[in-house]
Amino acid sequence: MGAQSKAIAIFLQESQHSNFRHVNPEVSGDGDFEVSHVIRPQLGETNVGLPVYFEQKVQKVDVRGGVVHIVHPAVLADAPVLSTTWIQVAEGAHATIIEEFEGSDSAVQSGISVLTGARDAVVDYVRNIRMQQGRAGIYKCVVEALGPQVRAWQIVRGAGIADSSMNIRLLAKGANVDLMSVTLAHGDADVHNDLYTTHDAAKTHSRVMARALSFGDSRITASGRAVLPDIAKGAETAVDMKGLLLGQGSITMVPKLRINQLDVVAGHGAAIGPLDPNAVFYLNSRGIDQNQARMLLLRAFVMPLIANLPSKSIMDGVISDLDNLIGGTS
């Protein structure tokens, strides 16, 4: 399978019909929400590509507003862990969903989340993934955007193996989505990110913004794709991907547009390279030492995406990791 698919390879090799352990995440927060369970029948495969060989009781979270935290706990298990959540946002809600994966001592921890925003809902959705060294995880997400405004963040950090994706479907006229991804990999990490927006309605708007930083020998591959079918008349989209090489690793970023409608505005671009030595020199010439200069430039690289994160602790965690990795150490 290629380096970018190690997590999938491990999952398929080690996940037999009877070897899943299903764990529901913990739900808390000061929002207005209700937790229930629904039975998902034996389907053979989930709608985001993960196999399901048994009937499972899926946790459903109905959110009517406020801040809701969903935490997938670390689990010690011989079998791969499948952790699933279905999030339903009510009409008129202004909701913040913060979903965190603590990492797992099992071979694989898989997270599937489906978020549906009603037509007049405003939703902020954050996925914070911490990769554990020597472990592999698959993290899949589908967001159905009916509301006028959805902002989604995916933060991936650590030294493990991760195969993650966020797929946002714009299902109502005028839906507006910002999809932001920050990947910070170090050590021998191997990360694959897929970021999708699909415009299934007219006059929809999306922005896909990805920033990747590779320290040590880490490898990052990312795909950003916007799909505009015939129905997407008057839609606007932009895919913006940038990567910084800060060690001996590699970054591959592929922006894609699939357009079947002429009446759209679409653009895409990608840029990968090392930290600009001229920018470092300029700061050095102003009395800022080497490490401080690198730290300021790396913060400036990610800050446009994380400045409005609805979780200060996650933003501080990203900045702290950057500060600790200054100098390209793993």
Residue 321, helix vs strand vs coil: helix
Mean pLDDT of 324-329: 68
pLDDT band (50, 70, 90) for residue 10: very low
**DSSP-derived secondary structure letter, 49:** S
CB-based contact 127:99 (threshold 8 Å): yes
Rounded Cα–Cα distance for residues 306 and 315 (Å): 6
pLDDT of res. 105: 52
- Tell me which of 67-81, 158-172, 201-215 is least confident: 67-81
Q: What backbone phi and psi angles, to 5 degrees, belong to 194? A: -120, 125
Residues 6+ apart with CB under 8 A from 256: 223, 224, 225, 226, 239, 268
pLDDT of res. 215: 95
pLDDT in tens, 71-99: 887 766 666 677 778 899 998 899 999 99
What mean pLDDT value characterizes the chain?
Answer: 84
pLDDT of res. 77: 62
- Tell me which of 48-57, 122-131, 147-156, 193-202 is least confident: 48-57
Give the residue from 174, 168, 172 showing the smallest Cα distance to 114. Answer: 168
pLDDT of res. 206: 97
Rounded Cα–Cα distance for residues 120 and 195 (Å): 24
In the chain, the percentage of residues whose pLDDT exceeds 90 is: 60
Highest mean pLDDT among 78-87, 94-103, 127-136, 250-259: 250-259
pLDDT of res. 112: 72
Tell me: pLDDT of 21 over 80: no
Which amino acid, one-letter code, is at 186?
H
Rounded Cα–Cα distance for residues 102 and 129 (Å): 7
pLDDT of res. 111: 72
pTM recorded for the entire structure: 0.88
pLDDT band (50, 70, 90) for residue 56: low
Residue 297, helix vs strand vs coil: helix
pLDDT of res. 212: 97
pLDDT of res. 40: 54
